[in-house]
Each structure stands twice: as structure tokens, then as C-alpha cells.
Homo-oligomer: A and B are copies of this chain.
């Protein structure tokens, strides 16, 4: 059977995946277009046809991750057991890569206005999406209050996400109980 030809979107994804591998391994600065080309099994010229600059790859990666997070968030906020799921997956290799990638982008965003803008847009989209879900689902009316609650949730999950490497053991039963209690305070049912 012949392999079907790779389309443009698949090619872009292949480059993004290769880029992530190198950022996680060496850091943002040391991940060169030549490395990415080698891992993606393309020429540097081909890479530039899809992405003229490293920042364009980052932009595509962040947009792609943001779509994923938005779907996850919907799922989580509906099922209410989302924190348990965050805890369960936190040791997976995929999660480790996401965490390192995210940190590299945020650290670099401190020096690059272009990256800061990409990150701020992604954060804004995620927050707006969360506000929409919370507004529809929970017994909350005041708009500023809803925004405050989402902001609290975002800070908490961000903190958990970035610190998860520190936690050698899984979350204890009292931790699960506490988080459930606090989340019910944060998003009360009708």
C-alpha cells in the first residue's frame, strides 16, 4: 500500500512537533531551525516555506494548545472532577513536555514583545471561554464576580501546573477533599 501524500496541515504539525522536541531538550534559544529541519526530515528551505521565523512556529504551537485547553476546560468545568483528572495525568510524559514548553515560552515572553503578545492572546481566549461556561452553568450573576472567580481558578491551575514537578507523591485524600470543597465554594451550584 502506498502512503498517502502529506498535506500542508500535516506538514506544519510535523514541524511544530519537531520544534517542541528541541525546545524541551535544549531550551528556546538553542532550538535552531536546522535542528527542527533535521528532526522533521525536511530541508531548512522547506521549513521556511511554512514558518518564516521561530516565533511563527511558537505562535502556531500556542494556538493549537489553546484550542486543546479550551476543549479540556469545557469538559472539566462540566464534570466537576477536573482537578482529579489534572492530578492523575500529572506524571505522564506528555504533561511533562507541556509544562516545560509552557515555561520556556513564558520565560522568553519576558524579553520578546511578540511572544508576550502571543501568550496574552491565548490567556485572553481561555479566560473568556471559561467566563462563558461559568456564566451559563453556575448560580452566579454579577459579571465582575464571575471574572474574579475565573481569575482565581486560572491562578490556581497555573500554579498546580507549574509546580507539579515538585510533587513526588500523588495528592492525598485530604487534598482531594479540600480541593473539592474549595471548588464548590468557587463555583456554587444552583
Interface residues of A (CB under 8 A from B): 24-27, 29-30, 99-100, 103-104, 106-111, 116, 119-120, 123, 142, 144-145, 147-149, 151-152, 154-160, 162-163, 165-166, 171-175, 177-179, 181-182, 185-186
Chain A interface SS verdict (over half): helix
Give CA–CA (A119, B166) in the complex, Å: 9
User: CB distance A106 to B162 under 8 Å?
Assistant: yes
- Given A103-B107, A107-B107, are A186 and B175 neighbors across the interface (CB < 8 Å)? no
Q: Which residues of B contact A175 (CB under 8 A)?
A: 144, 147-148, 151-152
8 closest Cβ pairs, A-B complex: A159-B159, A155-B159, A158-B159, A148-B175, A144-B174, A148-B174, A103-B107, A148-B178
- 19 A-B pairs with C-beta separation under 8 A: A24-B110, A25-B111, A27-B29, A99-B110, A100-B107, A106-B162, A123-B163, A142-B174, A144-B173, A148-B175, A148-B178, A148-B179, A154-B159, A154-B163, A156-B156, A156-B159, A158-B163, A162-B162, A182-B186
Give CA–CA (A21, B116) in the complex, Å: 20
